[in-house]
Structures are given as structure tokens and as C-alpha cells.
Amino acid sequence: MSNANKDNLSPGEPKPAPSVDFIRQAVVEDIKSGRFGGKVHTRFPPEPNGFLHIGHAKAIWIDYGIARDFNGLFNMRFDDTNPAKEEQEYVDAILNDARWLGAEWGDRLFFASDYFEKMYEWAEDLVKKGKAYVCDLRGDEVSAHRGTLTTPGKDSPWRNRSAEENLDLFRRMRAGEFADGSRTLRAKIDMAHPNLNLRDPVMYRILHGEHHRQGNKWCIYPMYDWAHGLEDSIEGVTHSLCSLEYENHRPLYDWFLDQLGIYHPRQIEFARLNLTYTVMSKRLLMELVKEGRVSGWDDPRMPTLAGLRRRGYTPEAIREFCRRIGIDKTDSTVDVQLLEHCLREDLNKRAPRAMGVLDPLRVVIENFPEGHTEELDAVNNPEDPSAGTRKVPFSRVLYIEKEDFKEEPPPKFFRLAPGREVRLRYAYYVKCVGVVKDPATRQVTELRCTYDPNTRGGDSPDGRKVKATLHWVSAEHAVKAEARLYEHLFTTPDPANAPEGKDWKSNINPASLEVREAFVEPSLKNAAPGHLCQFERLGYFCVDPDSTKERLVFNRAVTLKDSWAKIEQKGAKAT
RNA sequence: UGAGGAUUGGUGUAAUGGUAACACACCUGAUUCUGGAUCAGGCAUUCUAGGUUCGAAUCCUAGAUCCUCAGCCA
């Protein structure tokens, strides 16, 4: 199954839940009341200063999903108002990832920077109305005047300049007459307002920088609070959905739109996604990348969409996850196991099976003729008969998983042990008749087994049962491959909160990546990057783009559920 | 201690004055050529205290706890 994202195996979109979230309820009310003429129009407004992560997937799926559910429109719009942080590379990655997730915006791709001229005009309007003024305070002085959470701020000494003077100064700001940080345009609201956001917020700052789309055209740039509502208004957005931290900004969003008297969308806030064992802030993710703690934004351990895709996550699994976590205003942390469950659920139905051995133990079938090879039929996917079968070669020397043999099997261990018989998947029953050890280390280096020719294919004509089925590969035919086994990137459920005196990076899991020299069945030899399959009994794996013709690299997307591991763990605790 | 929010099992959500439910996780068992999947079952919930009501997760009052905000970031 190569190109998992483009194939036609995708299941239909999940049916709408019987109950709807509070945002959809609000949308329904607005439709009923005719607030926006019955229209629904949303947008996803990323800043191109980093890669999209699973939290953005939630946001996209709310924005896009609501537009789709109500036959509305959905805009992709970059909020590129800060040239200091934004880059074209991120624009490209974000577009690619959002498309991969499944969002569709047709020709409605927009950039806030394309509205700069209109925003500027509106700013002049506010200046003329006496609702905005040019302030000569420096950054630290602005802070000092702002007051605190419990005490009011002080008016800027420049607050009462005439409209004419403000207009002149503002135009000269735009013309580039002033140095960075020397002046700002501020809204004239109320320096004593209990909501700090309303204490004469900055609308424009002077920034002589190269903008990724505007070049050097501008040296003043609008602040988020001023720009965002205007962007929504220009595009005719009805419901401007954002995360909880903007709740305190909604009065400002409304104030600007009201002062201008222009079309006024409704902002609604929801809780952002948190996941156990992962960090979700762009700043922290950026730090991981910059410090080389991971190989890049698309490192398979990263919660970025690029990382998840490389890891082997499908858009379907991520969307199902987004559906299941719901939407609410409660700060919450979703168990990462739910994400993993969604992937397993999706891949169980779709991923072809294969056999691969990650930690090989040599097995010689003593009664199998040397130099002889048999081609056995293996089912490609027990969950999907239409997936058909394939041939796997069987010969005298095989590899099985080291952990599938124990010289002294503990209770409930059903796998191979001296004298014990097990089934080799789709092959034969084999019995362990001898153990070869390294005389120096006493480590088991080889197993001697016999096979029962009457059990070809894996069934015994005499009806004798066997308690375990093992995966295996033929040593002679197996393909060497690199297997990258991943664990959580962090050792604690809430890594961003480090204990007193410790950095969040102290929670990084030093064992989050383990590289193994593996052997996989020959049918995988030409698997292309992105190909997803299940290694039977081990987990789901995805061919990494690092693969070359000579060397396959597999990423373990997620393990299979492992009830033996649980039994084993309990046993370890009990003793 | 200002303003704005939030609070239902371990986790995430539902129930919108009328039997507190679903999923994940966890635990049993059945079944199985993947100790997978599947199937059956189990565990466990309304922040607290008052009040209104025949009846409250839902309405009222008081309190508790948690989150966000003092960037010329978004």
C-alpha cells in the first residue's frame, strides 16, 4: 500500500455524531436567526513561522469541517504580519500538510499581507476620527505605562495629539522616516480598562525588514489584534474560530470592527489540543529542531503533521482522532493512546501484512533439505480478503524473533522452548530439538528444530493444536533493512511542566529512537517510501524516505497491542 | 488580590429540568494460523455547601480549584 494518502482505500467520512459541539450549535443558531444571511464561512489562519502539528489538525478540522458540514466556504489564509519570523519555506510546508490532511480551499488561498493597503486606509480613518494616535514611547515605556493586572495604566503623553499631527506622523511612519521601535500607532481606548488588551493597544509598529511576500514595500506592520478582524471582515468570514487564549482579545476584535463600522464576523474560542507525552508549542518544537534533538520538523517522533506522516500516520486516522476528541472550552489533555488507537484501527483494516524479524535468532530445520526452497502462500490481510495472497520462501535456515524463544519458559509463555512445538506462520509446525550456545557468553546463538512436513501451510491434519504462531523469515531470502523503533519523545505525561529547577528538556526520552538491523521478507524489496504495512505480531511500519535502492529503512508507526508484554510486566512486578 | 473563562469516571466527550451515557485506557472471559483483530462482560463519574422543584449535571446563592492576560509575537 504505497502512497497511503492517495489510494482509494479510504473509508467514508464518519457520520456526524448524534450530538453536536457548542460551536456547531452556535452556527445553527446564527443560521436560524439569519445573522449572516444564513451563510457559513470559516478560515484557518496559520502564521508561517513553523510547521503544522496535531493541534493544528484539530483546528483545521474544526474550521474546515464546519464549513463543509454547513455547505459553507473555507479559506486558507496566512497571517503573515511579522516579517521577522515568517518564511516561505513554512508557507509551502503548511499548504502541503493541510492538503495532505484533507482540507480543501479551492482557489481561496489568501495572505494577510495582501490586505496591508486596505488596513492602512482603515487605520487612517481611525486616526482621522481621533480613535488612534501616534505614540513616541519606547517599548519599555509603553510597558511601564500599561499598569498591572490590578492597577490601571497611565495615559501616554502623546495620547492627545491632534488628528492632523497624528495623520502626518503616521504617514511619515509609513514613508520610513523613523527608526524601528521609535514610534507606534495606538488605538485610543482606555488606559484604565480592566482588560489589559484594551489599554491603548499598539496597532502598527515600525519594522524595517524583508517580508517574504512584500519585500521592502512596508516598514510598518499591523499587530495581530488590529489585523485579524479586518482580514476576517474583508474575506466575509462568518465564524472566526480560534483558541481560548484569544478570548480576552475578543472585545478588541469587536471594538476595531465597530469603530470602523464594517462587516463584523463572530469570534468563537475553543480549547486547544494537548496530548500526553508530547509538547505542542511551536516554540518548544522549534527548539527541538534547532538544537538537533530531533532530525528536523519531520522527525517521526515529532507531533507535526510532517513527522506523523513520515512515521506512518494516515490522514484518515488523524481525522478520526479529531472527530473523537470533540470540541470544548475545557483545558484538557488527551491520552496519546487514543491517537495510537485511531491509527491501529485504520491500518488494521488497510495495511497489508508482512513478516519481518527485528532481533534475529538463527533457526536450522534439521530435517529440511539443504539448498531447497519452498514457496508458501501467505494471506496479505486477514481483515480484507480482496487483498489476496503472496508467496513467501521457506528454507532450511530461518530467523525468528529472539524473544520468541526461552530456554526456561515462564508460566503463560506459549512460544518456543526446548522440546516445544509451535507454528511458523503460513509455513509448518516446528519443534525445538536443540540449542546452540556461545561457549564464552552462554548466549543462545542458534536453535535446532525439526519440521512436520504434514503441516504445510500451517494446519495439522491430525488436528493437533499448538499454542503459538511465530513470524519468521528465510535467512537466505530475507532482505536486510534498517528498522527505526520509536517511543514517546518524552518520559513524562506532561513534559512541558518540568519539576522545580529543571528544564522541560530534562524530560526528553533518551531512548525515543532505537535502530535495529532487521530482516524482512523479500516481497518488501522494492517497497517505496510511504509504503505502509504491518509486520505481523510487531506493529505497523512505514518505509522512510531515507531508504535507498540498496537499503530499506522502516519506521515503526505504532506497535500492535501486546497482551503478552502486559503479562510479562505483571510477572516482573509480582516477583 | 483586576478582567475573562473553565470544572461530569483514570482520560476525552454526551445528556440543554425527567433512568448520568459513549469512546479510549484498564480488568475478566470466549474465540483466533498475528498473545493482533473480533465478541461478551466488568471497573468507574456530576468540585463543595446551601436553596428552588414532584424531580437538578442542568436553574439560583455562596464558596473552592484550575486556566488565560501586564510583546512594538500570533
ipTM: 0.97
Q: Kindly report the average pLDDT of chain A as a whole number.
A: 95
Q: How far is CA A305 from CA A68, A296, A315, A470, in A?
A: 21, 12, 9, 34
Separation of A199 CA and B1 C1' (Å): 20
pLDDT tens-digit map of A435-447:
999 999 999 999 9
Provide mean pLDDT across the span A366-388: 97
Name the strand (E) or helix (H) holding A514: strand A513-520
pLDDT tens-digit map of A303-321:
999 999 999 999 999 999 9
**Range of weakest confidence among A326-335, A398-407, A491-500, A544-553:** A491-500
Domain contains A488: yes
Domain contains A206: yes
From the candidates A68, A199, A205, A282, give the one annotated as an active-site residue: A282
Domain contains A543: yes
Where are the strands (E) in A140-209, listed by range? Answer: 184-187, 202-206
Greatest Cα pair distance in chain A: 101
Do residues A490 and A537 both lie within one domain?
Answer: yes
In which domain, by residue range, is A487 found? 274-353+479-575
One-letter amino acid at A261 equals G
pTM confidence score? 0.95
One-letter amino acid at A392 equals V
In A 549-568, which Cβ lie closer than 7 Å to strand B?
560-564, 566-567
- pLDDT at position A573 is 67
Domain contains A147: yes
Q: Is the pLDDT of residue A3 over 50?
A: no
Q: What one-character-per-residue DSSP string does A247-266 give?
A: GGGHHHHHHHHHHHT----E
- pLDDT at position A128 is 98
Do residues A126 and A173 both lie within one domain?
Answer: yes
Q: Which residues contact A459 (CB under 8 A, 6 or more apart)?
A: none
Separation of A334 CA and B1 C1' (Å): 33
Do residues A176 and A143 both lie within one domain?
Answer: yes
- pLDDT at position A265 is 98
CATH number, domain containing residue A130: 3.90.800.10
Q: Using only the alpha carbons of chain A, give its radius of gyration.
A: 31
Neighbours of A312 (CB within 10 A): 28
Residue at the smallest CA–C1' distance to nucleotide B26: A566
Do residues A331 and A423 both lie within one domain?
Answer: no
3-state secondary structure of A220: strand
Q: State how far the Cα of A186 lies from the Cα of A129, in Å rounded to an integer.
A: 13
Do residues A489 and A467 both lie within one domain?
Answer: no
Q: Which nucleotides of B are covered by protein (CB under 7 A)?
A: 1-8, 10-16, 23-27, 33-38, 66-74
In sequence order, the β-bridge partners of residue A444 are A437
Q: Last residue of some domain: A471, A493, A511?
A: A471
- Residue A529's nearest CA partner among A312, A223, A379, A304 is A312
Do residues A126 and A203 both lie within one domain?
Answer: yes
From the candidates A39, A85, A108, A272, give the one annotated as an active-site residue: A272
Name the strand (E) or helix (H) holding A341: helix A336-350
Give backbone dihedrals phi and psi of A61, rounded to 5 degrees, phi first.
Answer: -75, -20
Separation of A294 CA and B5 C1' (Å): 36
Overall domain count for chain A: 3
CATH number, domain containing residue A518: 2.40.240.10
In chain A, the percentage of residues whose pLDDT exceeds 90 is: 94
Residue at the smallest CA–C1' distance to nucleotide B25: A337
- pLDDT at position A342 is 98
C-alpha cell at A345: 484501527
Separation of A303 CA and B48 C1' (Å): 38
C-alpha cell at A532: 505502509
Q: Is A47 a catalytic residue?
A: yes
pLDDT tens-digit map of A469-514:
999 999 999 999 999 999 999 999 999 988 778 899 999 999 999 9
Do residues A363 and A467 both lie within one domain?
Answer: yes
Q: Is the pLDDT of residue A461 over 90?
A: yes
Q: Is the CB of A267 under 7 A from strand B?
A: no
Do residues A366 and A449 both lie within one domain?
Answer: yes
Do residues A421 and A495 both lie within one domain?
Answer: no
Separation of A112 CA and B4 C1' (Å): 27
Do residues A216 and A123 both lie within one domain?
Answer: yes
